[in-house]
Structure 1
Amino acid sequence: MDATVTLTGTGTPLPVPGRAGPGTLLRCGEWAGQVDAGRGTVLRLAELGVRCPQIGLLALTHYHSDHLVGVADLVLTRWVQGGNDPLVVLAPKGPTSRFAHRVLDIWADDIEVRQLHARRPAPPPLDIRSFDAPAEPTVVWRSGDVEISAIAVRHEPVEAAVAYRFDMADGAVVVSGDTRVCPEVERLAAGAQVLVHEACRSEAVRARGKDYIAAYHADTVHLGTMAERTGVATLVLTHLEPAPLTEHDVNAFAEDVRRGGFTGNLIVGEDLTTVPAAAETALST
């Protein structure tokens, strides 16, 4: 099946050249699913040669804007490019689910004029599958060779943030969303081959007076300790805070994780980094 995971964006709310907003693309055979859609997601998909109608599922982790500002772009571009089947949207109940139901409301006039001018059918309704953020790994969607599980994570005060696990024919991939290092992600990642996890160099962030950022993101040293316990073959760092601007900065992320004890394959993510679901090395960056 050649299942892969690709980082469509490794950035944070602050714009940084070369780093789009948070997003992760999963592919298994002809199936493609996207986790979150931050700024620039559609452009990153285009760079990969992926047309938006190829995306059959969008899984949302939580309602922070940096993870969602590209959702309308994805949905509308999918329609403009000829996608006529409903896009499945997974969203935990609460603010994230409410966002999914309202995402096209402000585009009603644009949609109407495009329908009249191009004589195109109305965009297909989103197939929103909302669920209670579960305390234990719980299957929230399955189709063919892909099964998706979710678990609530620790991103308080954000309500009902979740991580997702994709069990595919070639292996299992876990995408953390935004969270502190927590036992929930550890349980979800048990037996997985690849863990895509947000990463925050807490010492550097606190040195800049941004304690509130470090308070609800994943400390890189603690992440290394947790990832080693899970036994995952490959740990991919994304949503990098503070954004690495030099090779020294990139190495600092890796050094923190190694200091925490992780001995597996470690990738400090860049946009378009692609990793096979069943392998231990990056295919491309």
Structure 2
Amino acid sequence: MTTTVTLTGTGVPFPSPDRAGPGVLVSHSDVHLQIDAGRSTVMRLAQAGISPHQLSALLLTHLHSDHVSDVADLVHTRWVQDHMHGTGPLPVVAVAGHAPGFVRRVLAANEFDVNVRVQHVQDGPPEVIGHWFDLPDVPAEVWRSPCDRVGVEAVRVRHEPVEQAVGYRVTTPDGVVVVSGDTRVCDEIAALSAGADVLVHEACRSSALAEAVKGTRFETIFSYHADTVALGAMARRVGVPHLVLTHLIPAPTSPEQVAEFEDEVRQGGFEGRVSVGHDLLSVTVGDAAGA
């Protein structure tokens, strides 16, 4: 058995034909964890060979719309398939504050369709199994697979003004994967990443583009995302061997712009492997070559 990490979306709120909304799939044997569900997640999962009924859990880092716009589609599609697969409700792991109400409301939007389907095919309405947890200041376990092979820890990150934002650490028999969610470079993610084999982290070219965005709304937006140079310095400090960049701000549109992300991480002193993310990029934990 091996553990793989697949980027189901590397984009930002602005739509792109090449980059779906943010999402990361971590798989170990038959345990499949989807972290966030941005725009077109269901389609990217299909391209990766994973159907919603195969997911062990959906983990939400925070409720910015670009990270959760496909939650309803994911849960609803799993429900529609349930009479074929019998996998039952999707477990959803998230901070206890706003997430339960959000999930309840987005599912309620399909009330008409649910009523029609229940009359003809489905046995009952779509449901989730909520694994809601208090916002942790230090890493704490928030989910474990029924087989006991895969554990998930969470810690709060620094994405203010969004207060209820977390990163996740997934531990499997093969190693450790950390997914930052949206955050500035911060001590909490540094602590979560210690000893990790792969760190999937958002990346923003805020230092390089500081003058270009000065005095604009982008200056504010950049302030609560992870600067590439600072990220490189943090990854070097904690000794992560493989850094995977995602949620690329601004989204690169040429090979030269892609290269600039890695160049700036190197400026921070990081000497390990860097993968500048694209949709469906897949890496294997412990595999230096990746895919």
- The TM-score by the shorter chain falls in which range? over 0.9
Give the distance between the partners of 2:164 and 2:122, measured in 1 at CA: 37
Aligned residues of 2:136 and 2:154 also touching (Cα < 8 A): yes
Q: What residue number does 1:28 align with?
A: 28
Partner of 2:173: 169
Q: Which amino acid aligns with 1:189?
A: S
2:122 to 99, 120, 126: 120
Q: Which runs of 5+ in 1 are unaligned?
A: none
2:237 corresponding residue in structure 1: 229
Residue 92 (structure 1) aligned with residue 95 (structure 2): yes
Which of 237, 250, 260 is the equivalent residue of 1:252?
260
Once the two structures are TM-superposed, the CA of residue 133 in structure 1 deviates from its matched residue by 1.2
Q: Bigger CA drift: 242-251 or 199-208?
A: 199-208
The answer (yes or no) to whether the contact 2:76–2:126 under 8 Å persists in 1 is no
Give the Cα separation in 2 of the matches to 1:182 and 1:43.
32
SS of equivalent to 1:104: helix
Aligned position for 1:156: 160
Specify the code of the residue in structure 2 equivalent to 1:182.
C
1:136 to 135, 138, 142: 138
TM-score normalised per structure 1: 0.96
Does residue 207 (structure 1) correspond to residue 215 (structure 2)? The answer is no
1:32-43 to structure 2, matched below 5 A, reads 32-43=32-43
Amino acid at match of 1:10: T
Hey, what's the Cα distance between the residues in 1 that align with 2:137 and 2:38? 26
The Cα of 1:97 is off from its aligned counterpart by: 3.3
CA deviations 1:155-176 (Å, max 9, x no partner) are 0010210000000111100000
Counterpart code for 1:2 = T
Aligned to 2:10: 10
Provide the residue aligned with 1:110 in structure 2. Answer: 113
- How many residues are matched? 282
CA distance in 2, matches of 1:282, 1:205: 33
The answer for the alignment partner of 1:59 in structure 2 is: 59
Structure 2 residue aligned with 1:274: 282
Which stretch of the first structure deviates more once superposed, 217-226 or 131-140? 131-140
**Is contact 2:79–2:88 with CA below 8 Å preserved after alignment?**
no
Q: Percent identity?
A: 52
- Letter paired with 1:246: S
Q: Residues of 2 paired with 1:280 and 1:112: CA distance?
A: 50
Distance in 1, Cα, partners of 2:154 & 2:122 = 36
**Which letter maps to 1:86?**
P
Conservation of the 8 A alpha-carbon contact between 1:94 and 1:159: no
Partner SS for 1:266: strand
CA distance in 1, matches of 2:115, 2:77: 15
Distance change (3 Å), C-alpha of 1:281 and 1:90: same
Aligned equivalent of 1:192, options 193, 196, 200: 196
Alignment RMSD: 1.2
| Cα deviation, residue 229, structure 1 | 1.1
Q: Distance in 2 between matches of 1:172 and 1:85?
A: 28
**Is the 1:91–1:100 Cα contact (8 Å) retained in structure 2?**
no
Per-residue CA distance 1:60-106 (angstroms, 9 max, x = gap): 00010000000001111111222542211111122233212333011
Q: Is 2:225 the partner of 1:217?
A: yes
Alpha-carbon distance, 1:278 to partner:
2.2
Q: For the residues of structure 2 that align with 1:167 and 1:98, how far apart are their CA atoms?
A: 29
Unaligned runs of 5+ in 2: none
Aligned amino acid, residue 122 of structure 1:
G
TM-score of the pair, normalised by structure 2: 0.94
- How far does residue 123 in structure 1 lie from its aligned partner after superposition? 4.1
Q: Secondary structure at the match of 2:170?
A: strand
In the alignment, the residues of structure 2 paired with residue 232 and residue 226 of structure 1 have an alpha-carbon distance, to the nearest angstrom, of 9
